[in-house]
Amino acid sequence: MKRSTTRLDRFISQNSGFSMGEVRLLIAQHKILLDGIPAHCIRQPVTRFTRVVLDGIVLSDAQPVYLALHKPAGVVSATKDGKHPTVLDLVRHPRKHELHLAGRLDFNTTGLVLLTNDGAWSRRLSAPETKLPKVYEVSVARPLSEEYVAAFRAGIYFAYEGMTTLPAQLEIRSARTCRLSLVEGKYHQVKRMFGHFGNKVLSLHRVSIGPVRLGELQAGTTRPLTRSELAQVAQR
């Protein structure tokens, strides 16, 4: 995935007493390490998360942070709010001030949200072409039927936007509960899709986003994403 980058020679000149012209010599002397590997070209890209060491001195050591959070009800999907606790209030991480949300949930919706300091990664998650499935457990006020399954698969027209939702998979679990998988994130989309049938959503719980699953993560707690989860997102 792409991130904002700068050339190695420009980065060194901006963060040390060496000029851009001197970087070739530093490379030849193996005095520049990028993520622990000797640099080999003045044009090598340096991102905000590249660890750059010049002659034993660390010039840049920022690390990306990727967290999964189990959001409880009554918590705002924001980093600041004057009235209610936010998802960031639940995070216990030394660099929490750098984090932002990669996908939101409504105030009373529970389940999985992702936080990161990597803007390119979060933009990739929400990009239409990535199409990461988001899976929800839903309970509704009125009984479900196969008519819902067919309509969700075909797509439901939203008059306000003048658009039809992409195909979604609905699995009925009981008369009034189901599991829903969709790849979009329109405003109040799940509630509006059931509202098409005049059916009110009573509870909404997100259990996964792509390869990242909530699992046994307790409400109000976080965990770092695994290498496997990150690799699977990067491959999409």
Q: Please compute, for residue 170, the number of CA atoms within 13 A of its CA located in the half-sphere on the CB side.
A: 25
- The amino acid that residue 84 corresponds to is H
Residues 123 and 97 sit within 8 Å (Cβ to Cβ):
no
Task: Kindly state the helix (H) or strand (E) to which residue 202 belongs, with its residue range.
Answer: strand 201-209
Q: Look up 89 and say whether it is catalytic.
A: no
List 9, 81, 106, 118, catalytic entry: 106
Q: Identify the DSSP state of 192.
A: H
User: Which secondary structure element, helix H or strand E, spans residue 29, and what is its range?
Assistant: none
**What are the counts of helices (DSSP H) followed by strands (DSSP E) for the chain?**
6, 17
Contacts of residue 103, Cβ cutoff 8 Å, sequence gap at least 6: 113, 114, 122, 125, 126, 134, 185, 209
Q: Which residues are catalytic?
A: 106
